[in-house]
Chain A
Amino acid sequence: MILTDVDKRVRLWTEAYEKYGVDAFFNTAAKEVLKENGKIAGVAGQRKDGSKVTVHAKSVIIASGGYLGNKELLLKYLGTTHVNVAARGKSLCTGDGLAIAQKAGTILDKTFGYCGCEYGGTNPKASRPATQDKYDQNLAFKFGIYGNLLVDNQGKRFMNEGLLCDYPMSYGEEPTLRHSPYYAIVDQEYVDKMRDEGLYEYLTKRGANHDNWFIGSYYKQRGGLRSLDSDLEEGIHEGWIVKADTLEELAKKTGFDHLTGTVASYNSYCEKGEDEQFGANPWYLSSVKQGPFYAIECEVSAWSTFGGVKTDDECRALAEDDQVIPGMYVVGTDNGSMMYSPYYDIPGFCYGSCIGSGVIAGHGASAYAKA
């Protein structure tokens, strides 16, 4: 969701750098924190073309944005490599800041997580994966977040799907991360309703309203997912959606041994209007009965990772035994002491804390350099 035009912000930032005499070197990766006589002395960087950029400075602020672009670190800290870049493409954030800081003697704090994408699932096999725009993607990915039945790769249910729809980041992101890729199981009746009515009309008919369904305003203006039929076909063609006439066939095609049993139990909850397993809000319970059936493979995507260097309350990097490393600051998503997993339940908290920590470190680093 881009609410502030990128060009406008780029212009504003560029003008601010010019106004305050900040020199920016682009295509330049930081390689190492320099030290002289045990004190922080600057950063050694390298341009894409191999040329060197050496900056001598008393204060260093590490703000490289986490490790979303580093599969090895994703596996190490989040337990899976199936985390996509919500803004599409490859992330340049490959954990450089963490590596540099550790090499310079810092320790990492213990919390690792991610700022997940709230617009649906995604899949690297898709030609139109999740993007920053809510609906500029294959709309079949909406089944990865609409509150319908979800299963893991054994065909077992793994979460209260209603909470995922209601609070995609704070409640939804840890279970979906743990099971990424996870699978939405829907029938033709539900597909038809989502195509023709859309989630808002479907759920308001079932009792959701402006007061009791916070996320509803999100879906209100949208209407049905008009391109759903062709989007499903596209997913089947690309290999991330499986379609079958019967549930038994779907179980066979996917290899999900527990699928038919899971669906039978789930359908009984739908009939009773009570989710006896995970307590999902009854208006989300949508039976899976009317073939053909679909299994939609969804992976999570992220705006950023969380987890990194341990700092004090002034964003100063800490070595073992909480010893402050004078002149070294860590901010934004590289700061491991400020973020939480699952993500905060206040929208914009990550961005807010990035800005806030930047201000804190900016003051501190400036004062230290001039002292």
Chain B
Amino acid sequence: MEITEILLFIASQIFGNAAILYGLIALFGLVLLRSKVEDIITGVLKTMIGFYILYVGAIGLSNIITPVAEAISKTLGVTGVQPAIWAVFGEGMTKRPMETAMVCLLAFVVNLILAALTKIRTIHITGHIMLIHAAFYTMVAAGYAFQPWQIILIGGIYTGFYFWISTWLIYQFMKGNDRLTDEWTLGIGDSIGIAVTALLSKVVGKREENTEDIKWPERLAWLRDSQLAVAVFCTIIFTVIGLAAGPEVISKYSGGTNWVIYTLLLGVQFAAYLAALLYGVRMLIGALVPAFKGISERLIKGALPGLDYPTMFPFAPVGMFIGFISNLAGGILATVVMVLLKSPIVVLPSIFMNFWTGALLGVFANAHGGRRAAVLVPFIVGFLSPFGWALSYPVSGALIPAHVVQDYTDTCVFGLIYCYLVKLIAQILGVPPVVGS
């Protein structure tokens, strides 16, 4: 074997193999944190097992979105898309896992460099959300015939800049508010949603009326389980779509199962594959999160970590619930309006992210504008966001065939700018779009 052949083998068969690659990244992180040998072995193995589990979940999710999207196009003659960050992540992890991993790592490095060199010292360290963003930015660029290194460079630099600026932006609406905290910031995908919510809440709200003074019925607490909420609401929505499409379309997918029964179970299956995917993600990032945390703490003194959604929930448990319900209502209304206006792209309700984004916006709305803001503002944001996602869909590159959109409020701004930026870069470099996407 010649040396180029050996290098090619290493590049394609070892680094090109996602399970091995993620195992190696875990190995690197664990060694960097000086873990014990037995912890390194279990950490690497768990990462690799996690990858295969999430793979199963990702394929399952995609197998449910396909018949639903086809049912919509057959009955309404329009393109139906499902907002689903985890399906976007699944697409990235199954189709372009190497680039996704590298975009994520490069983005982390870019974020660290920006935080080290400037006065804005916020760092996105929420491992799974970093990977979701990396998957989205990778897949958009993968819609053009770029070389893998070009995708990594474009995606990584932009994503790193995004991590840095979005964590800073969120902090501006957290500090100095006695109903929130200034000890950390959020590393999520909703900096725009938070900015709009905080500003709007000041206008429409009455801050003295705190949501936390409301007694919330304890019997509704089960809806705080986002996966159960997905099972309930997706069953209703998918059933309506499936029954409208009728047996001809559905029986193509249902196999031996009766088409009505199959339709009724789609929502429950969607929740099940989501649970499988999340279980895999948990194992995959188990070794990565300590590494991200340790590295940023050690390298950048006084850095403000960007943490996950639930870290804000204790500040307004009632507000989060109001936010979820009102954000979901806004999303459903957006779907109805798109159908009535005969929009060429119909965005289905997100449910899962209505829960997470909506709950978070409920907390921020209450902090800036009290009870009235918590009801009104997440609804407005929930209604407007799907229109931004609809705009992003036709320019989302390799995600187009999957009929999914990334359902963060930031997709409407940072994501959309990136989609057009990538298109522009492709035009300047003379890189053609990939056929079929």
Chain A bound to chain B: no
